[in-house]
Structure 1
Amino acid sequence: MSVARAERLVNLVLCLLSTRQHLTAERIRGIVPGYADAPSDDAFFRMFERDKTELRELGIPLEVGRNSVFDTVDGYRIARRDYELGDIDLEPDEAAAVALAVRLWDSPELTGAAHGALLKLRAAGVDVDEATPAVVEPKVRTTEPAFGSLLAAVQAAQVVRFDYRRLMPTELRTRTVEPWGVVSWRGRWYVVGHDRDRDAPRCFRMSRIAGEVHTIGKPGAFRRPENVDLMRFVANRGGDPSTPHTTTVRLWLARDRAAGLRRRATVVGEQTLGGEPGDVVELELFHPDSAASWIAGFGPDVVVLEPEVLRKSVLEHHLAVAR
């Protein structure tokens, strides 16, 4: 869809949402930017018919009717009761994940769709500006020139070849890779896949890719292995990606509170802490040290029992807030 047509459709939706009356095609022609450029009446009506069909295919309820018995021409409007989203009940961590997704996919190819989803959620009264869990990187740069090409190659399962700059020793080497996925870690982008030159799984930082990324062969040339944790593989820089290593964290949760944690945890007992009844749960985390601010965000509803390092880290977050 052209940019001009997309803008015209958005303006048409806003116009029909903003009125309680049924607007005739001629009135819409004079109100909505873009229709005045039609060279003739026939051209306008063809354009308007295409736009109406497009809106209906997108699921937008276009209402046809007349304002009074004296009207001789049908008009159009969009009833807010049919258009607006219903009630959406998101937990704080789920709302934070939505906000994070919008900030994460900060690239020209993906920004539009992400912001569209965010606007719909805000229109439904969902607060998506909650603090983002620290277990996921909230700031990711997608300015690397290789990002778009590698993402497309991952989606098409197509082999790529590129020049990669090593640090020790400093040199350029050509790599032929079956890309399994792109991963963000600590504000940087990596591509993970099978390195055909070394016949082993490897990860490559995109900022060290020199020049263009070239595709080799046809799409669908390989299949990504199942049960591969790309994030853990990048974090460990070379371990076996099919064997995750986790740390068991033991927490106290206040009774019927901290639902975001409960969904990921297993209740192993009950305990009264400070006169408050609660449950003892266990949670498997890949990087417990980076989860401190996320856990601290639940306030007094969560207390870390072990490991000690995580308990101290959460306590430091609480002290910082108190100060």
Structure 2
Amino acid sequence: MSATSASAEKTERLLNLILALKSTRRPIPKDKLRAALPAYAEAPSDEAFDRMFERDKDELREMGIPITTTVVDVLFDDEVGYRIDSSETSLPEISFEPDEVAALALAARAWSTASVSGTATAGLRKLRLAGVEIDESLAAGVEPRIRTTEPAFDPVRVALSARQPITFEYQKNDGSVDLRHVRPWALKHWHGRWYLTAYDVDRGAERAFRLSRVVGPVRKKGRAGSYEVPADHVPEVSLAAQAPEPVGTATIRLRHGRGHLLRQAATRTRDIDHRWTEVEVPYERGRTERDIAALGSHAVAVAPVELVDGVREALQRVLESHSGRLPQDERAAAPRVGEQAP
């Protein structure tokens, strides 16, 4: 059994135990729990069941879920039952301010293409059923910062959970691509992007990888459970240590309501007119060019010249990579990169 499937079975077993102990009015003896819950019924022996049940009880109590132990029959004080008091685990009535409701709607929309989209949708559905009015239009026009649209996210997450080595092609700062063999240590949403921290087998050192720069498929390269994540690993420390040093200041013009990541990093901001804002941000060679190019017509590099040339080259590569898919007349009519200015 893989580590991922074992974890899923354990989660299901704990949830079933919680439901059984919360839904009863009287304490349940453990022999009845064993008969009622499939995972316990399949235990090969009484000893195996006892060990599993004791571990599950301890784990739920560590989570803060109070399991009470009560004598079932006063005449036989050696028979005890178990129960979870709903009054001790139920939340009080929750109310939301309009801005909080808007934040919830935005969060659900930000995760709409992620692997947890079903959970986000279910959460909003429960709020509506509880009488909370969700106005998703309040979040319209806001650019969500949390995204998991990177194709690499799910396979990396699965490999991380299973502690399984993987290999993938990775685009470096200079645009070249090379093959990496890594042991995943952690996934971290950092400064608006998803990163993998891992041990790079070929380089014999810890490295951080931005998921959006993983090219092509992520492939398994080794057995599940074949390594351990260092107990003292802190993803933020690794990411901060490997972040590129700024080489100056970049001046950029952004359409209103766009480029929130760049705005967040701005050291100076001024409105140009009703459409454009000019910002100054630390210039990180390679990263700043990609951030501007990703915004397309909603951002324009102003200075320095190196930045302007880098963005123009990035956009030109995108145009060339897609021009072969256009009919000849459309290629002729395509705009030349670098001519647009606010």
TM-score, structure 2 as length reference: 0.45
Looking at secondary structure, tell me which structure has more helix per residue.
2
